[in-house]
Amino acid sequence: MSSGEPVSADAHPPALAVREAVARALAEDLLPMGDLTAGLVPPGTQGRALFVARAEGVLAGRRCAEEALRQVDAGLEARWELDDGSPVKAGAVIGEVRGPLRSILTAERTALSTRSGPPARARASSTHARRRPGCGRSRRPPSGPGEATTTAAACPRACS
C-alpha cells in the first residue's frame, strides 16, 4: 500500500510539542461537555476506522494523530502504512485504528486536524503544495457494523 518512502526521520516535530498541541486541541474540542456523538454509541462497541488520503500530496502530522489516539484511549491500536514526508496519492490508505468505537470517534476530529495542519516542512517539499489550493476531511457512512471510514487530506496548507 505504500506510495513512497519517508523523506527523513527529522520530518517529525519534537515529542513535547506534539503532546502539548494535542492536549490543547482535545481540550478545545471536548470541553466543557465532552464528545456528545460518541455518547450515542453503546458502551463496549468495537470499531475500525481507516485514514485515507483525500488528495495527492505529502503526508504530514502522523505523530500528532498517534498522540491524539493515545491521549483519548491508550488501548486504541493504530497501524500505519506511511510516515510523514511520504508522497501519497488520493485514495491511498495511510493507516487504520481499531478499538472502542466511542474512543475512535472522540479522537477522530483531533487526529484528522493535526494530520492536516502543522508540519510545514513536509508541505513545503511538495509540488502539490504550490499548485492545489484545497484540503479538508470528510466521513462516509460505515460499510458495516462498528466500522467508520475517515478520509484525511494529505494537506497542502494548514486547514485547522
The band of 117, judged by pLDDT with boundaries at 50, 70 and 90, is: very low
| Model pLDDT for residues 25-49, shown as the tens digit of each residue | 999 989 998 888 898 999 999 999 9
Give the CATH architecture of domain 9-152.
Alpha-Beta Complex (3.90)
Residue ranges of domains in the chain: 9-152
Residues linked to residue 139 through DSSP beta bridges, in sequence order: 150
pTM of the shown model: 0.67
* 89 vs 135, higher pLDDT: 89
The reported pLDDT for the residue numbered 112 is: 86
Rounded distance, CA 116 to CA 123, Å?
Answer: 10
* 12 vs 150, higher pLDDT: 12
Listed range (8-17, 37-46, 50-59) with the worst mean pLDDT: 8-17
The reported pLDDT for the residue numbered 35 is: 87
Amino acid identity of residue 63, one-letter, is R
The reported pLDDT for the residue numbered 49 is: 95
Rounded distance, CA 60 to CA 63, Å?
Answer: 9
For residue 32, whether the previous peptide bond is cis, meaning omega lies within 30 degrees of 0, is yes
